[in-house]
A and B are shown apart, each in its own frame.
Chain A
Amino acid sequence: MNNSLGILRPAWEVLSKLDLVMLLALAALLTLGGITLHSASGGDAAMMQRHFFHLVFASIVMLVAAQFPSHILSQWSVWVYCAGIILLILVIFQGSKGGGAQRWLELGSFRFQPSEVMKLAVPMMVASYLSGKTLPPKLKHNLIAVALALVPMLLIAKQPDLGTALLVGTAGFFVIYFAGIAWKWLLLCVAALAGAAPLLFFFGMEDYQRQRVLTLLDPGSDKLGSGYQIIQSTIAIGSGGVYGKGWLNGDQSRLDFLPERHTDFIFAIFGEEFGLLGNLILLGIYIFIIWRGLYLASRGADSFSRLLGGSLSLTFFVYLLVNTGMVSGILPVVGVPLPLVSYGGTSMVTLMAAFGLLMGLKKRKVGYEEY
């Protein structure tokens, strides 16, 4: 078959690294996302154009990311990780401010968010470290793995960017989980976290973060302030009903009642316009993608592939859970977008790169002997 392709053979080589089923599911999600964004942006053509460019660029990044075999990735992990840590420290000292937090690093005219890189670098690093050990790893190795995840997580939380810190931390944690840490340790961690929550609330959080948590418990307490977003987003979702108000007919969105409706709160618009039915279909697609990700991971060529693939799949899930949870008013507001639907180039590129890595992890028949 490959012979008959002639000059298309190199192209096939590149494309064959991808997983068709996953590609179809992603395409479905991106299509829904584009449709919703069109409505959420109020038909803003310029925004849609930028979104399209993000998509094209992110797809290229995905294609490139899929080309690296797992042992190369494993080898590079430590360098990428170390570079990321250095950049994070740089950000703290001379990053530019965006939205009240220091997150960006300016390299000439190019603005760059090192914390995004860590979303991939941390699971790669931890996976690379643990895959070199006998699984399940010993307690000492697990503790080192935790430290590997914790350092960048704290650096990011210091910016402060709680959403990204959470995603980076969980990405590292998921690797440890898949590496086979004993359930008792897991339960202990969960218990410790629950116990530390009040301490974190009173001593570890900024005022605005505390306010967000309090708002969640009683959105009516500050109707026009911090509660406004949650109230308006639950109104948007709830008024959608079973079938929704129809595409472009979301009153909450159209009449500008919902802040950040094209970015973090786009799920509310989706729920308003497509109703519970649309929401279930959307969640279905997400579940399918997560399942497919776990499946691809389980078919990974080696431990590193499986650990990284599993972690990336579950991180994607955390994106989804945190975003839908916050938009529907059961989790505090943290800056986590609805993956692959919310407007925003950075997260789009990171996520597509992750899917590129994930698809590229499967065992390779072609050229394996050459290795």
Chain B
Amino acid sequence: MQSVYPSIYYLTASKMLEKKILKDEKEEHLLFRSRAIAAAVIVFLLLSVIGVRLFYLQITSHEHLTELAQENYQKRIPTPPVRGQIYDRNGIVLADNKIEYVLEVVQDKAQGLDDNIALLQKLIPISPKDISKFKQKLRINSKFQPVVLRSALTEEEIAIFSVNQYRFPGFAVNIRTERLYPFGSVASHVIGYVGRIDTRDLERLGKDEYKGSTHVGKTGVERFYESRLHGKAGFKKVEMDAHSEPQRTLAEESPISGEDLFLTIDLELQIKAEQLLEGQRGAIVAIDPRNGEVLAMASVPMFDSNLFVNGISYKNYNALRDNPERPLFNRALQGAYPPGSTIKPAAALAGLNSEVITPKRSVNGRGFFQIPGTKHRYRCWKKTGHGHISVNRAIYQSCDVYFYDLAYRMGIDRYSEAMSRFGFGQKTGIDLPHERSGLMPTPAWKNRRYKTSWYPGDTVNVGIGQGYWTASPLQLAHSTATIATKGRRITPHVLKSVRVSRDLPEKLTRPKFLPSVIAEDKHWNTVIQGMVNVVHGPMGTARGSGAGAKYRYAGKTGTAQVFGIAQNKTYNAAKLAKRLHDHSLFVAFAPLDNPRIALSVIVENGGGGSAVAAPIARKLLDSYLLPKPVTIKVDNTKESSETPPNKNDNS
């Protein structure tokens, strides 16, 4: 490399000499070399800084930055699942999914939104209400999500829009499914309804699962079995460019449709029950005692579930809420009525079981009962009294004195405990939300509640299902079913089977057994015989309704006082306001051998149990047990409203 040095050195040097400048070429060369080496070192050091920075970005921060990159372009769009349908026990659809065409707008893609809406109004009708609703939703929703501008598009409107779609960027017609309850108000308390998801729902539900969903079950089966009905949301992972234009689908997971539910409800019986209560306020619960299936659960008046699906209007909601008949209130599940005489068979069994009474022992029914050493008279409904009376007659004639005496001698602790075994004072555990437990009073409870001690008179009142005792129609039907099965208790339920997929067989739900009521068979027979005599005996309180039945059944009337009557006064229905009239109750099971249905009927302020509730029960039993050529007629346009305000409390 250095072989040519001297000549260059010489040549340039001579040139320099010519210019009269002394330059040491070799020195300068060495100077340059040392500077070049220093420069190379600095270059290397500074580029090392870049290298370290790259190392930091590409190794240390790699994961974090990869996430950021994915956030940039990967958007997860949830796909809502199709909600499961609800059927009655015979496969009749109670809650369906209706397909609807809606006009939706994606804000991000729509330019000059207001102008375009005005333009579109010339083509298809869009009401100012639609627009104000749309604007409201725009504020809540993400600007990348479609927001409904008009729903329920007709085919003609779809055609008109499709031709002009190119003029409206960001506007599109989409299919939407909507919940439909074909029978409207029928069984609306059982089925419940879905409504738009609100913030409270979101706290309760998994936010991820519901990202694409708009509706959620709010009451009834729709709420209780929400997780089964809803299904599992799918998603679409879409690649978006910097301008939010979707490029391609990266991953897709189909949603899993919700499960179809088959209820234990027999639609025909349900409609019959609702019709029998029409124009009144009341409830009917019918249970299959063999397996706890709820065949009918009527609470009248009712409401139309469809009203709630797309957000009920204030007007409609206020009308329902302020209606004195309280149509939103599920009487069958939440009503707390004094059970009245309907509990006498259970009380009799408790007495027999604890040997407080015997089948032979009789009590002198003088028409009133007095606690030894006091003057207060606890009156029998029959002023003249029943005379000497056995347990059998005490049941079918509903002798109050007999049961005053029974409860008094048993004592409240034993009595209360025995009644709890029939499920009183506890939730039955039915698969519906908001069940109420009613109240089986005890001294401890009274002390807690009223800070006073339990008086013997309290026990006497409880002896005929009055006083502090309250029960729901469901509990009454359940306790009646317990007598029908001679003590075997099964949790009442409304879900019969589940269909996960149309290709798979339905999965039956298993009955859940509760602790049985243990008693000797002969005691059961005594009690049941008393109930049979209620309807079939010549002196039974409900012999009128039992007459001519083509099957044998057992029943018990009940008349629950709403209004306390003074000691020397008589109850005069005609003089009392309707809302102070007695509640009319009846419980029954049939047929006698191998019972298939146990039911409770309550008609608020209906009057005597034998006069109002018992005939209703008979008609219902007939319709269920007798072969019928009748076809179902659906009428969901009724709304009764002629009766005055009422409160459902007892005396």
Contact = CB atoms under 8 A, between A and B. Distances in A.
A177 B58 contact: no
Interface in B19-39: 19, 21-25, 27-29, 31-33, 35-36, 39
A324 B64 CA distance: 21
B50 A314 contact: no
Contact of B36 (A178, A279, A317): A178
Interface in A351-371: 363
A184 B421 CA distance: 103
Interface in B30-53: 31-33, 35-36, 39-40, 43-44, 46-47, 49-51, 53
Contact of A255 (B27, B28, B36, B242): B242
Given A178-B32, A279-B54, A302-B12, A320 B69 contact: no
B50 A283 contact: yes
A257 B68 CA distance: 12
Interface stretch (A1-9, A30-38, A149-157, A237-245): A237-245
B55 interface: yes
Nearest to B51: A283
A330 interface: yes
A291 B240 CA distance: 44
Interface residues of A, number: 55
B248 to A, nearest CB: 10
Nearest to B32: A306
Given A135-B28, A363-B8, A239 B68 contact: yes
Contact of A238 (B12, B47, B66): B66
A294 interface: yes
B128 to A, nearest CB: 36
Contacts of B241: 254-257
B162 interface: no
Contacts of A329: 53, 57
Contact of B21 (A132, A251, A294): A132
B72 interface: yes
A328 interface: yes
Contacts, number: 149
A271 interface: yes
B54 A328 contact: yes
A134 B53 contact: no
Contact of B73 (A257, A314, A317): A257
Interface string A272-294: 00011001100100110011001
B164 interface: no
B631 interface: no
A236 interface: yes
A18 interface: no
Nearest to A241: B62
Contacts of A237: 54, 57-58, 65
A235 B68 contact: yes
B163 interface: no
Cβ-closest 6 pairs across A and B = A238-B65, A255-B241, A239-B69, A238-B57, A276-B58, A256-B242
Given A239-B69, A251-B72, A255-B240, 11 more contacts: A178-B32, A180-B31, A232-B72, A241-B59, A242-B59, A257-B242, A271-B58, A303-B25, A306-B32, A325-B53, A329-B57
